[in-house]
Homo-oligomer: A and B are copies of this chain.
Amino acid sequence: MKIIDIQEKTFPISSDIKNAYISFTKMDCSVVAIKTDVKINGENIIGYGFHSNGRYAVGELLKKRFIPRLKEASSKSLINDVGDNFSPEKIWKILMQNEKPGGHGERSTAVGTIDMAIWDIVSKIEQVPLYEHLAKKYGDGKFTNKIFVYAAGGYYYPGKDIPMLMDEMKSYLNMGFTTVKMKIGGAPLVEDLKRIESVLKLVGSGKNLCVDANGRFDLKTAIEYGKALEQYELKWFEEAGDPLDYHLNAELTKN
């Protein structure tokens, strides 16, 4: 049981949208395909991985550091103790060899992209969906194939007014979503409240609406928004301030 090829490709995923913090005009994304010699119905199992939008592609990190480490590792070192599948845990340790501790950043994107492809391989070899494998291996064995989902959108882009925002949200409801998430913080508070109230008319209740500031606010603005939003009883208010601003986040949990 071994890996016989690993490919990385960077794809542009640029668009005119922006959230409160960044524009996506130059965004791209790495996709990884890992081919194994394990065959099912005569076809080699290939695992695929990609990363979240919002962090840029990590092609050079993958090609220079992480893919070579995986290729150079002995086949045996990638396999679980029983010997019947690849071991995501052992592979993670191989990937993180010769990485200084601290400051993960781009490398966690690169390692996570490979990790996703490995888990894809593991579930394909088991011939069960990954959620079923995880439930059996780490949980109590029970699983469901129903899960809470929501449509994340409501980005800002040039010329987008409230009717256009409402059209976007209507399209999600038409797809069957009952909960939606929209960006805030890219406009002044007064305008954001108008945007929120318009969407509330569509989704019926704050329980069906989440907002996301993408880490833009300072403490004062975060609290200002929090107080202004209180009346709507929203499902959640996501990433008010910089995730690394521990002081801000500690203060917010008190408010």
Contacts and interface: CB of A to CB of B under 8 A. Distances in A.
Interface of A: 21-23, 25-26, 54-56, 59-61, 64-65, 97-108, 214-215, 242-244
B106 A61 contact: yes
Given A60-B60, A104-B244, 20 more contacts: A21-B101, A25-B98, A26-B65, A54-B100, A55-B100, A55-B103, A56-B61, A56-B64, A59-B60, A60-B61, A100-B215, A101-B242, A102-B215, A102-B242, A102-B243, A103-B108, A103-B243, A105-B106, A105-B108, A106-B106
A21 B96 CA distance: 11
17 contacts: A22-B97, A26-B65, A26-B98, A54-B100, A56-B61, A56-B65, A59-B60, A100-B215, A101-B243, A102-B242, A102-B244, A103-B104, A104-B244, A105-B105, A105-B106, A105-B108, A106-B107
Interface residue SS majority, chain A: loop
Contacts of A244: 101-102, 104
Nearest to A100: B54
Nearest to A54: B100
Nearest to A107: B105
A54 to B, nearest CB: 5
